[in-house]
Amino acid sequence: MAVNEPISIQPEAETIDEEMILVVTPAASQMIKNLLEQRNITDHALRVFVSGGGCSGLQYGMAFEPAPREFDAVVESDGVRLVVDPTSLLYLRGAVIDYIDSLMGGGFRIDNPNAVSTCGCGHSFKTGDSGEASASGCGSCSH
C-alpha cells in the first residue's frame, strides 16, 4: 500500500462513498500492530474517535476494543482494523493518521482537513462549525 493511499470505510458491507474517507500511513499501521502484539490483543481493533473537550473544543481519542459496535465504520489497512463511530466520522472525513517518532517526542498524529485551528499539542482542534476560529496555544492543555 502506498503512503496516503485512500482507504474506503464500509459499514456493514455498504460503501459510504467513493471519496477519500480516512488514510492510515504505513508508520501508523506498523505502530498499531506493535502495540497490539505487545499487549497480546492481536484480534482487537483501534477505535479512533472525537469527543468534546481539549483546549480547542474537540479532541481526538484512541482505544483498543475487541469488536466494532453497531453502526461503526471499519477500516482495514495493512493488517490492522480501525473502527470509527458515525459522529466521529463526520469530523474525521479525509483525515490522515500517522505515527511520528522523534527525539522531541513521538506519537500518533492526525492531520485533519476539517480542522480550522488546532492546539499546539496536536490532540485538540476546532472545526468551522464549532465557533469562531482562532489561533490556539497549548496554555490550558494538559497534553
Total number of domains in the chain: 1
> Residue 91: inside a domain, yes or no?
yes
Q: What is the DSSP letter of 68?
A: P
Within-domain flag for 50: yes
- Is 140 inside any structural domain? no
The grid cell for 51 is 469527543
Find the CATH number of the domain harbouring 111: 2.60.300.12
Residue 136 included in any domain: no
For the CA atoms of 44, 29, 77, 58, the dihedral, rounded to the nearest 10 degrees, stands at 80
Q: Is 1 domain-assigned?
A: no
CB atoms near residue 89 (< 10 Å): 21
Q: Report if residue 9 sits inside a domain.
A: no
Residue 97 in any domain: the answer is: yes
With beta carbons less than 8 A apart as the criterion, state whether 8 and 84 touch: no
Q: How far is CA 123 from CA 62, 136, 142, in A?
A: 11, 12, 10
Per-residue pLDDT tens over the stretch 103-129: 777 888 888 877 664 554 445 444 555
Which residue type is seen at 101? D
**pLDDT number for residue 13:** 34
What is the per-residue pLDDT for 129?
Answer: 58
Q: How far is 95 from 108, CA to CA, in rounded Å?
A: 12
SS (H, E, C) 94-125: CEEEEEECCCCCCEEEEECCCEEEECCCCCEE
Do the domain assignments include residue 107?
A: yes
Range of the domain at 51: 18-127
> How far are the Cα atoms of 18, 96, 111, 117 from residue 114, in angstroms, in the given order?
18, 11, 9, 9
pLDDT tens for each residue of the chain, 143 residues long:
444 444 444 444 333 433 457 889 999 999 999 999 999 999 999 999 988 876 657 888 999 999 999 999 988 888 889 899 999 998 888 888 999 888 777 888 888 877 664 554 445 444 555 444 343 444 444 44
